[in-house]
């Protein structure tokens, strides 16, 4: 009888990828996926430390498992990822029923540690070295990029996949724990990335998203002195037969080079979309955040992106309520959003993270109710801009990769026949979300859709007559039938 594993993923795309490769490895050892902790022999939480809310969610989940552990002492409970790296001993103190604590640089050890925990009934801990515990080379060696086995059933869709091209971060923004939890910035060898991408395309993947904490910082130094940049990597991946779309996230403003923008413009498979977090529209706040650029630099960078890549869609991130943010500072952020007219923005309230420079240097002096108001106010500004920008698409024909049924029709999908009509969802070459009605056979295909309406978050369309008539071979159904499990997006 095979053992069952349950995994819950919280956080970023990097965590989604980490969960996929961990589960892929365990499945090769005979594990099957469980739908709930109660059904599982091994229960894993892949965690995030960027915001306090994400950590609270994990501690609450661990608390609910105390009674399960009492009734089933053979169950193995593990905490993986950034929270495990940052809060190693705190987790053990708050949740003594946890069996594994494994940082993001040690995920290859998970199968072995599960067996060790099961046989010894003692806590198994595997974490990387802290940045101050050794020299850079030694610390780098303790963070291992773990990308050996890809499991299509663990992806949000079987047609799309993430590929890690870089681990760690050297930006040291004062609010951020990532340089501590994921270690020094290291770029993976291009040959490894290309081999992994080929494997994914052979599995039926049509769209690959390249991941890095600051993905456009990617630079691999070869032994012979050659340097591979992100633009070079995009050009090499672009020629893979069967690959139809290439994306990359997340970008750092100061590393948005002309050669990269030229590649985005000139390579047809590269999506014309850039996610470039600004974080604030006030120079004083950016200085406290140690972002190492000014608002003027950021706006000039935006202008260069739009000049180099006509029609490019750009999104951003903002933190409101950072230490010392005044009403005037916040007003400057609002003005930046109004002027930049981002496709969308991800807006977060500042959450003080223990161990960061901000927590050591600055008082978290913006009241919670002020943070909430500023969050809502900035979100309202961005929502109106998104609504206006989305309305411009009405009457246009766009090309989308159909990802699957929309949330409304997910429950109908499993029992749907090729002749049924479902509400489908996909994304354009500028990463806009499109909803349209169509046959399940369209899932996994790139089709043309005529946009007839728009909301601040979604474009609504009608499948063009050519796409609706193209039903040969029931494209998409074999993969959908083979991989019925739809992995939810991570909780942020």
Distances (CA, A) of 132 to 36, 224, 329: 39, 31, 34
Residue by residue, what is the 3-state secondary structure of 133-176?
CCCHHHHHHHCCCCCCCCCHHHCCCCCEEEEECEECCCCCCCCC
Residue pointed to by tokens 């990308």: 147
Cα distance between residue 206 and residue 392, in whole Å: 28
Residue closest to 406 by CA, chosen among 35, 157, 153: 157
Structural contact between residues 321 and 350, judged by C-beta atoms closer than 8 angstroms: yes
Residue closest to 54 by CA, chosen among 348, 457, 372: 348
Q: If you ran DSSP here, which 8-state letter would residue 10 be given?
A: B
Q: If you ran DSSP here, which 8-state letter would residue 345 be given?
A: E
Which contiguous run of DSSP H or E holds residue 385? helix 368-391
**How many other β-carbons are positioned within 10 Å of the β-carbon of residue 288?**
21
Cα distance between residue 341 and residue 382, in whole Å: 8
Which contiguous run of DSSP H or E holds residue 274? strand 273-275
Annotated binding site for [4Fe-4S] cluster: 12, 48, 82, 169, 173, 176
Residue closest to 351 by CA, chosen among 54, 46, 13, 45: 54
Count of alpha carbons within 13 angstroms of residue 93, beta-carbon side? 4
Cα distance between residue 427 and residue 409, in whole Å: 17
Q: If you ran DSSP here, which 8-state letter would residue 302 be given?
A: H
Residue by residue, what is the 3-state secondary structure of 424-471?
EEEECCCCCEEEEEECHHHCCCEEEEEEEEECCCCEEEEECHHHHHCC
Cα distance between residue 469 and residue 308, in whole Å: 37
**How many other β-carbons are positioned within 10 Å of the β-carbon of residue 330?**
24
Structural contact between residues 219 and 232, judged by C-beta atoms closer than 8 angstroms: no
Q: Which two tokens stand for residue 226?
A: 């050659």
Q: Which two tokens stand for residue 224?
A: 């012979």
Annotated binding site: 12, 48, 82, 169, 173, 176
Cα distance between residue 247 and residue 271, in whole Å: 6
């Amino acid at each position: 009888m095979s053992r069952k594993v349950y995994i819950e993923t919280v956080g970023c795309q990097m965590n989604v990828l980490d969960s996929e490769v961990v589960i892929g490895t365990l499945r090769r050892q005979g594990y099957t996926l469980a739908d709930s902790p109660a059904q599982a022999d091994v229960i894993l939480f892949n965690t995030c430390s960027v915001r306090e809310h994400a950590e609270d969610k994990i501690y609450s989940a661990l608390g609910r498992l105390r009674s399960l552990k009492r009734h089933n002492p053979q169950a193995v409970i593990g905490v993986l990822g950034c929270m495990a790296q940052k809060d190693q001993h705190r987790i053990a103190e708050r949740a003594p029923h946890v069996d594994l604590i494994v940082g993001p640089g040690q995920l290859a050890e998970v199968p072995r540690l599960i067996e060790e925990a099961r046989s010894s009934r003692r806590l198994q801990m595997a974490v990387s070295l802290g940045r101050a515990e050794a020299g850079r080379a030694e610390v780098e060696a303790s963070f291992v990029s773990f990308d050996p086995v890809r499991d299509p059933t663990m992806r949000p869709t079987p047609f799309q996949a993430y590929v890690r091209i870089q681990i760690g971060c050297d930006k040291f923004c004062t609010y951020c724990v990532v340089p501590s939890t994921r270690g020094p910035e290291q770029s993976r060898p291009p040959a490894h990335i290309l081999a992994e991408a080929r494997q994914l395309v052979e599995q039926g993947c049509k769209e690959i998203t390249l991941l890095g904490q600051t993905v456009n910082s990617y630079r691999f130094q070869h032994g012979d002195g050659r340097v591979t940049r992100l633009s070079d990597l995009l050009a090499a991946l672009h020629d893979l037969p069967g690959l139809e779309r290439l994306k990359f996230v997340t970008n750092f403003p100061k590393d948005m080079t002309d050669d990269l923008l030229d590649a985005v413009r000139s390579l047809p498979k590269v999506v014309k979309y850039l996610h470039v977090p600004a974080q604030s529209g006030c120079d004083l706040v950016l200085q406290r955040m140690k972002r190492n650029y000014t608002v003027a630099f950021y706006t000039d960078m935006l202008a260069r992106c739009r000049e180099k890549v006509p029609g490019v869609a750009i999104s951003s991130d903002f933190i409101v309520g950072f230490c010392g943010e005044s009403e005037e500072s916040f007003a400057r952020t609002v003005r930046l959003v109004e002027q930049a007219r981002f496709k969308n923005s991800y807006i977060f309230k500042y959450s003080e993270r223990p161990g960061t420079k901000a927590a050591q240097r600055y008082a978290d002096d913006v009241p919670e109710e002020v943070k909430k108001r500023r969050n809502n106010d900035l979100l309202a500004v961005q929502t109106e801009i998104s609504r206006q920008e989305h309305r411009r698409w009405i009457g246009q024909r766009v090309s989308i990769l159909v990802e699957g049924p929309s949330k409304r029709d997910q429950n109908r999908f499993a029992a749907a026949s090729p002749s049924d009509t479902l509400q489908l969802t996909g994304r354009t070459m500028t990463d806009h979300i499109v909803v349209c009605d169509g046959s399940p056979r369209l899932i996994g295909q790139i089709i043309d859709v005529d946009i007839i309406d728009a909301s601040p978050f979604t474009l609504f369309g009608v499948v063009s007559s050519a796409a609706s008539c193209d039903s040969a071979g029931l494209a998409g159904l074999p993969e959908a039938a083979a991989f019925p499990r739809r992995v939810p997006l991570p909780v942020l």
